[in-house]
A and B are shown apart, each in its own frame.
Chain A
Amino acid sequence: MDWLEEELKRALAREEPPPGFEFRVWRRLKKTFPRWLAAAAALLLVAGGAEAWHWHQGRMASRQVMLAMRLAGEKLNLVQTHLRRQGR
């Protein structure tokens, strides 16, 4: 090993992390959200979202049917009135 390699070994000697390193790791470990809980929450969110979407779609369809029936009723009334007038 020549002088440059010796200098590199000296320059790259291992160093300790800043004080309190282990405490910081343990603190982060305690904060870690359990994976299964995160997965369950995500699943609930997706299922709830799908359910809400279906409910919304059903409500929209129901409104459209009611509107169609109201429009058809009005038309029928118009036709009936017209027929009565013709019959006189």
Chain B
Amino acid sequence: MSALARTVEPGCDLASLMREHRSMVFSIAYHFLHDRDTADEIAQEVFLSLHRNLAALESPAHAMFWLRKVAVQRSIDASRRRRRWPQVGLDAVAEPAASAQPGDPMLGKTLRRLLATLPETPRMAMVLRYQEDLGPTEIAEAMGIPVATVKSHIQRSLALLREKLERRGVGRP
């Protein structure tokens, strides 16, 4: 039996793990799918699955890694099942104000919509990079793809977003 199941230390039970990681799990699904209801459903399923697998988890850190990985997989599966994400091209996304300032909610909204138009793999890599502040190696582990692929997806996605925004006068020197 694992350490996590053998001795239920403070912070290692389902309630504590849910309290600590619910925003991470929900936000991975939400930022990837751009749909609050589906993200809520996926986050619930991830924690139900955690409950079934609690005995196999060795430590709180392992639980966090496991939750992140399962949230990534479930979100990608949901996207593939439903195929209901904006099928519009980057050009169809509303243009942000040319004088957008740092923290401008409109710019944030535009960035999220631009991200939603990216293909699944680069989109998830960007979510993990900028939501979770993960490095390429951690992203590669969570997604089960090579590190070089992660780096390439992030660079290309950034270049694409930068080009679209700067063309509209949003870029800052």
* Interface of chain A: mostly helix, strand, loop or mixed: helix
- Asked if A82 is at the interface (CB within 8 A of a chain B CB), the reply is no
| List of A residues within 8 angstroms of B133 by Cβ | 9
Bound form: Cα–Cα A24–B15 in Å: 12
Q: Are A25 and B48 in contact (CB under 8 A)?
A: yes
Number of interface residues of B (CB under 8 A): 38
Interface centre among B39, B47, B112 (most CB of A within 10 A): B47
**B contact set with A: CB distance below 8 Å:** 15, 18-19, 22-24, 26-27, 30-31, 36, 39-40, 43-44, 47-48, 51, 102-103, 107-109, 111-112, 115, 126-127, 129-131, 133, 158, 161-162, 165, 171-172
Q: Given the known A-B contacts A15-B23, A18-B36, A22-B15, are A6 and B102 also in contact in the complex, defined by CB atoms under 8 Å?
A: yes
Q: Given the known A-B contacts A14-B23, A25-B18, A25-B48, are A4 and B165 also in contact in the complex, defined by CB atoms under 8 Å?
A: yes
0 or 1 for each of A59-84: is its CB under 8 Å from B? (1 = yes): 00000000000000000000000000
Bound form: Cα–Cα A28–B130 in Å: 31
Residues 9-34 of A contacting B (Cβ, < 8 Å)? 9-18, 21-22, 24-25, 28-29, 32
**Chain A residue at minimal CB-CB distance from B131:** A12
Q: A7-B107, A15-B26, A21-B44 are in contact. List 11 more A-B contacts (CB 8 A).
A: A4-B158, A4-B162, A8-B111, A8-B129, A12-B131, A13-B27, A14-B24, A15-B30, A17-B43, A22-B15, A22-B18
A-B contact pairs, 18 of them (CB 8 A): A4-B162, A5-B158, A7-B108, A10-B102, A11-B108, A11-B115, A11-B130, A13-B131, A14-B131, A15-B26, A16-B23, A16-B26, A17-B26, A21-B26, A24-B44, A25-B18, A25-B48, A28-B48
0 or 1 for each of A21-57: is its CB under 8 Å from B? (1 = yes): 1101100110010000000000000000000000000
Bound form: Cα–Cα A4–B22 in Å: 27
Q: Given the known A-B contacts A7-B111, A25-B48, are A17 and B39 also in contact in the complex, defined by CB atoms under 8 Å?
A: yes
Number of interface residues of A (CB under 8 A): 23
Closest Cβ of chain A to B141, distance in Å, is 19
Q: Are B51 and A29 in contact (CB under 8 A)?
A: yes
Bound form: Cα–Cα A21–B107 in Å: 29
| List of A residues within 8 angstroms of B43 by Cβ | 17, 21
